[in-house]
A and B are shown apart, each in its own frame.
Chain A
């Protein structure tokens, strides 16, 4: 260990660590702009300069290693003057960049003395982070500094689109001021990775936490899109992780377990409603699925809970729900998906709560409100939440010039064909049992719709066709969360029955 003094405090640091790292370890924060934990020190912004006793000039703490016995000051008048000048000079260069304005005010920039100069209107601070991450981490170096001195700028060679850029967007994401535009580096169209949990409405990184309630709530790497797994470079995440928790060598393990019972609780999948071409999903921009709606109105979703419609980002205040999209339909799924009438009503009420006055219209065939006080829920929606229920199955959806969907439907009560223009259409998509591989893997039968076949629904409502294998939740049959929980308790009880007295016994016992 190396002993040094920082601002009068004794500090111990590992040899090879920089002064900035040593200071950070005792809570002394040194400002910087061009420093990045996963990149080699660059030392060009000069914001992190500190005074080392006996050295004639200030030194960049991000780059200078600790030495035994040195006395460092991070707050001396020379250091303060340096930071002030650097932030003033950057403010003169980039007066409109909020991050630089903030920095300048933090560093005590003197606005009066800056008025003496002609400011530029740049947004790039020439920190080089974009270049260095592309060169050091991605091994590509698609952009670099060109020109010397005051003419310096960041560009691909000859300011033409780079043929070697891998369109990963690392440069754009590491830029502290938002000056990097991927479109200036490459002619390739970036392919955002659709965040699965947010229904592809937004992108995600190759390393990501699937959703806020994930168990365990730990990031996972998508090897199909991770630059390390694809090209053997980067590993920026690994060099950042202070817990050294990232193991790129992790392999899939196959475990063999000897068990006495299996509970199948694999849940549901969403039906792809683009096959219902009459509704224009995928073509008419403001036609979305109910699950997409859920993500748009979720506070942790892509829009922070604001119902911004896809075509123009405008808040939708007149919305329409179409029920049974793909359900109760011989051309698609013949069964009723069970939960959609209730969830559509909930969604309409939610929209009203977010923005009182929102008008919702629900186009239904039958309203299935079979649970306790479910009917009262629907009545309340109509009475207090500006929800109108229209009995009629829409035939098609067109798109108006302003992006509004126009629904053509038959009003069965009035026995008329009508058109209905709205801001946004939500399709209550059919739900499917998520039964991938379950049947072959466990040797159980599925019914004609793909749900787990239950031979004896009366006496053994949770037993599959194979002894010891039970099913609960949506893969068993369409049901909501409370009913799924009831079945889960039931499955647990069945498991307990089957395994009682068998502890320690072998397969035959």
Chain B
């Protein structure tokens, strides 16, 4: 039954509200990939089984990713009269306890992450408060959503209903203002007005390049040729970045709606969502959303009776990072090998099947319905002068609270790492923050007050990128980081052009030598020269940016390179060829823990005989270092210095044994 009028939409809206806020107790389990990877599926089944066995009449639903992936599986419970309670790190035993407690009207505050008193409807600028009566004891111990440091500094916009709605429910999407923007566009705005609004908002492409989105739409609109295409780039390949996956798995309709609005503005009649094959859950969710949208008349012929027709296909990648590059992506859709081509011509003039094409990232499309309903002024009320709005990061690495975060542009790195991220595990020191994936760079801890926006990151030598943000602590070797990123780009290079295919692997050769003790004088200068020329000469964005991690680590961590090359020393004790493990005989108490744990059986010793590591057998795994009791801390890491000679066995007999003699 297709939606043709405001009334039809209102009916869906009502049904959605009924589904989102049923009159019964509702339990939602976060089942995006982050949740599933933590065991959410088993938890879901356990809850269902427990509820059934108790004869409890509850609504059990699936939801997406709330962003606090560190604490998955997350289970939300709404009992009529209570606020929403979010339980974190729920396993099967806890799930059963929670259901049991629920039956008794209790809250298990020790498992609860936070309570949420009202949900926000960002599109319609309204709030839906949970009516409260009969609050359970102990609820006051559960922090409010705004009191959780991870959430407090965030400004969720495109992530706002992720983790709340069931991604498979179009009605729930509509109940929070979904497709209202599309309705507004098709009934009361011209394509030019839409482009004007998006341009004024200051939205910049969230795929990484940061090109003004409205301007890009305008180019495509002006280009001659038919049919026109719009593409959603969901090939998200940066290691550690999964923002686009999160959105597709949690709120796919926001992307669909954005694409329909964009297609209307540009004059496109066909769209493609290009998702990487490694995201099966995201593929399934977007596929379902597209089918539902078509069924309800938000896609297809004569959408909402406006005369505008537009449909969207899905195409999947096949395991190539380079297919995130727009011309390689289009080649892939056309059935050719995923290889970039020369630009000009730009896709806006000649793209998919040589027709005018507009490609945007998942997050850019998801931003569009918000801009249309709330307006350009609202959108640009957050952010910095040239970087408007909010940005979604996947905050990962050596950070306590890893997950997907959405913050206004302009927030400092320090705030992101310590306020939102909750600091570094083990209270270790921050060393660097890496942004922009393999195309980006490492910002040193000294620059932690950098206000994150497109310009500042570029000036620092990095890029915003798609939103990957990797926190690195003092135990990170920056030369190793550079080598890691280069090994990624070397493997993912399509191989078409000489500077990238040959140049990057030669740079990797140098870095490998440096990390294995074969660094030579002049290596750093050579890396810089090659980097600059490759950036200038490579055919596509992969090659143009792959040297960035090398250049930024040389710029900010030159000392580490010097240590590796001149002293054959790795300050972070990461590079195995340069690191040795040694048991300090003055500290060892021959407890045999390391001896038993050593995977190569490389530790000699016995009760009362001080242990010795056989350097030939040592695989530098670091196990002995980790398991040696903290009070003894007898295992030390050495780098750049020779390993002291082993004491003869007689001298290794412990005093207490001698005393016994």
Which A residues are closer than 8 A to B by beta carbons?
A: 41, 43-47, 49, 57-60, 63-65, 78, 81-82, 85-86, 89-90, 92-93, 113, 116-118, 126, 144-145, 147-152
Contact = CB atoms under 8 A, between A and B. Distances in A.
Q: Which residue among B496, B499, B520, B544 has the maximum number of chain A CB atoms within 10 Å of its CB?
A: B496
A85 B505 contact: no
Interface string B333-345: 0000100011010
B530 A46 contact: no
B146 interface: no
Interface in B482-507: 490-499, 501-503, 505-506
A57 B337 CA distance: 25
A117 B501 contact: no
B502 A90 contact: yes
A89 B501 CA distance: 9
Interface of B: 320, 322, 337, 341-342, 344, 490-499, 501-503, 505-506, 509-510, 520, 522-523, 526, 529-530, 532-539, 544
B493 A44 contact: no
Given A116-B510, A148-B493, A149-B492, A65 B498 contact: no
Contacts of B539: 43-44, 46, 60
A110 B29 CA distance: 62
Nearest to A152: B495
B537 A86 contact: yes
Contacts of B537: 46, 49, 57-58, 82, 85-86
Contacts of B494: 148-149
Contacts of A58: 536-537
Given A149-B494, A150-B495, A82 B342 contact: no
B342 A43 contact: yes
Contacts of A57: 535-538, 544
A93 B490 contact: no
Contact of B490 (A60, A89, A144, A149): A149
Nearest to B489: A149
Contacts of B532: 81
Q: Which residue among A44, A60, A113, A118 has the maximum number of chain B CB atoms within 10 Å of its CB?
A: A44
Q: Which residue among A43, A58, A117, A150 has the maximum number of chain B CB atoms within 10 Å of its CB?
A: A150
Closest 9 CB pairs of A and B: A152-B495, A89-B502, A149-B493, A63-B342, A82-B537, A43-B342, A85-B533, A149-B495, A44-B496
A145 B497 CA distance: 13
Nearest to A153: B495
A89 B498 contact: yes
Given A85-B533, A148-B320, A43 B502 contact: no
A118 B506 CA distance: 9
Given A149-B492, A149-B494, A152-B495, A82 B533 contact: yes
B610 to A, nearest CB: 43
A78 B537 CA distance: 9
B495 A85 contact: no
Given A43-B539, A145-B337, A90 B498 contact: yes
Contact of A148 (B342, B492, B498, B535): B492
Contacts of A82: 499, 533, 536-537
A45 B536 CA distance: 14
A341 B611 CA distance: 102
B344 A150 contact: no
A90 B491 CA distance: 19
B495 A126 contact: yes
11 contacts: A45-B498, A46-B497, A57-B544, A65-B344, A81-B529, A81-B536, A85-B533, A86-B498, A126-B501, A149-B493, A149-B505
A89 B536 contact: no
Nearest to B321: A148
B536 A148 contact: no
B487 to A, nearest CB: 11
Contact of A45 (B341, B497, B506): B497
A148 B520 contact: no
